[in-house]
Amino acid sequence: MSARQRGSRFAWGSAVALALAGTSAFAAGGSLSLSGDQEVPPVQTPATGVGSITVAPDGAVSGNVTTTGINGTMAHIHTAPPGKNGPPVVPLAKTAEGVWSVPPGTKLTGE
């Protein structure tokens, strides 16, 4: 699982984005670490993030991301292979300052 963040000029201040490769019927999860080198194209920034996202075999998604060094205004999970841009597939909710969580009941449909 790779991760990216988007926003201001270099796409970090306005959104957090996580790239999930292959969103159809798989179980995956784990810790993630966000940095500007995961942006497409890569950027230099002091902003970072850490978190955990899990996708269950039935497509249920859970988890959260905590960011530092950025004033994010929205967040979402993308589907794309590493190094590529992809469409957002799961919006994340701001649950605290710098914390973005998958809303309860979120499921990937494989579309």
Helix (H) or strand (E) holding 76: strand 75-79
Report the Cα–Cα distance between both ends of the chain, in Å, rounded.
19
pLDDT in tens, 64-110: 999 999 988 888 888 888 888 889 889 999 999 999 999 999 998 86
Partnered with residue 18 across adjacent β-strands are: 3, 77
* pLDDT of 105: 96
List of residues 6+ apart from 20 with CB closer than 8 A: 1, 28, 53, 55, 77, 78, 79, 80, 89
Query: Is the per-residue pLDDT at 16 higher than 60?
Result: no
Amino acid 61: pLDDT: 93
CA angle 69, 73, 77 (to 5 degrees): 90
Q: Find the mean pLDDT for residues 43-67.
A: 92
